[in-house]
Structure 1
Amino acid sequence: MKNEEEVKDEILAAARELIQQYGIDKTTMRDVARVASKGKSTLYYYFKNKEEIFDAVIRDEHDELYLKVKKAVDSEDTMEEKLKTYLISKITTLVQKRKQYAFLIENESHHFNIKNFFTLSFEVNGERELAFIRSILLDGAKNEGYNFDVSGVIGIDVLSDAFMTYLRGVEIEVSLNRGFESINEKADLMVKILLKGLK
């Protein structure tokens, strides 16, 4: 017998498929129940309405995005490569997500707009992204000879914030369907600027 998390995951997978294809306006609870092979009462046990399902789908997408980026970064050895991979992986994954949700973005901006997307992104991933970047910088200081003046103006927290500020700017450009060309070169330049004079 399936546990509650498995049932919920099946509902969200069905909803994700329908929302990507038809948008939220044309997706009904009945549609989600049919694709998930569940009764409507099962859906209402977990979610009050389709808007709540949509919110859960987008939260899952943000969670999946973070975990995918973290996995890519964890496969790198040096701090510089980790930071570059973080930028490149995050942006390329966002581009893929934008394509998956193209119908929704282009036709239902009242449900899926940039402000809501980034507010939710910060709510779901903001603190753990910042902590992850900070841990990359700390590892670089400990294992690679980078000298962060933690008591002065240029400390790890300032550099972490600067990195995240740059990344969010690029994310906005991607959300507007521009600014992700030559992302490898941009990531390389950004990391060099960020780390200049630290080693």
Structure 2
Amino acid sequence: MGTKDEMIKAEVLAQAQKLFRHYGLTKTTMEDIAKAAGKGKSTLYYYYKSKEEIYKEVVMGEMNETFSFLKEAVEAAETAEDKLRAYSLTKFRVLQEKVNLYTVICGDIESNFQLMMELHKNYESQELQLVKAILDLGQERGEFPGIINANTDQLAFTMVCAGRGLQMGLVFNNNFVDLDSRIDLMSRILMYGLKGENPAQK
């Protein structure tokens, strides 16, 4: 597609994102999106077959942006411990900024289960690889003696799932007060296990 087509698609996605943030996928129609973008429905259908296709592109864009932030923060840190802390802190700071969209996405899961699971699976695979790479680095450098013989695939999966539980709690209760301190506490508890340390002896 040429520049004009790309500009039209960008405007459609930008307006659709606003609608999805407020109303979710189920309550948003192609007519709503066309009107918000200042386009006719026929123009909209020229670029997208359905609102689900638009929604998928919007959410994938958000997920790619989030992962880019995570990757950048991790790469900027030196030690495996600092990389894990940067990963956790960045993950929840981005969540705080995108809390409205995340709430809507959670609400769309039941009525659009297959689509949401597809999007979730694609993002989670990237996140798992990132966390596993940090754990592998910690093993190689001897930073994490507590997991010297551990399966880092399984450990990464457990950590990502645990983080998702906290993520849902923060969103559903809309409670991001003192977020940095909470993440620091979670990171310290995690480090005790990875380093094989006994916090009672500290």
| CA distance in 1: counterparts of 2:84 and 2:99, whole angstroms | 23
- Higher mean alpha-carbon deviation, 88-97 vs 65-74, is at 65-74
Q: Give the deviation of 1:133 after TM superposition.
A: 0.6
> Which residue of 1 is the match for residue 91 of structure 2?
90
AA aligned to 2:51 is K
Larger helix proportion of the pair: 2
Q: Which runs of 5+ in 2 are unaligned?
A: 198-202
| CA distance in 2: counterparts of 1:92 and 1:72, whole angstroms | 12
| CA distance in 1: counterparts of 2:3 and 2:146, whole angstroms | 50
Identity %: 32
AA aligned to 2:21 is Q
Q: Give the deviation of 1:88 after TM superposition.
A: 1.6
What TM-score, normalized to structure 2? Answer: 0.73
| CA distance in 1: counterparts of 2:112 and 2:79, whole angstroms | 34
> Which residue of 1 is the match for residue 167 of structure 2?
171
Q: Deviations over 1:79-116 (max 9, x none)?
A: 222211211211121122123576x57xx94x366995
| CA distance in 1: counterparts of 2:111 and 2:68, whole angstroms | 21
| CA distance in 2: counterparts of 1:53 and 1:64, whole angstroms | 17
| CA distance in 2: counterparts of 1:146 and 1:125, whole angstroms | 26
What TM-score, normalized to structure 1? Answer: 0.74
> Which residue of 2 is the match for residue 75 of structure 1?
76
Q: Which runs of 5+ in 1 are unaligned?
A: none
Contact 1:33 1:39 (8 Å CA) reproduced: yes
Count of residues paired in the alignment: 193
Q: What RMSD, in angstroms, separates the aligned Cα atoms of the two structures? A: 3.4
Contact 1:130 1:160 (8 Å CA) reproduced: yes
> Which residue of 2 is the match for residue 194 of structure 1?
190
| CA distance in 2: counterparts of 1:6 and 1:134, whole angstroms | 38
Q: Give the deviation of 1:120 after TM superposition.
A: 5.3
1:79–1:5 distance in 2 versus 1, CA, 3 Å: farther
- Higher mean alpha-carbon deviation, 173-182 vs 130-139, is at 173-182
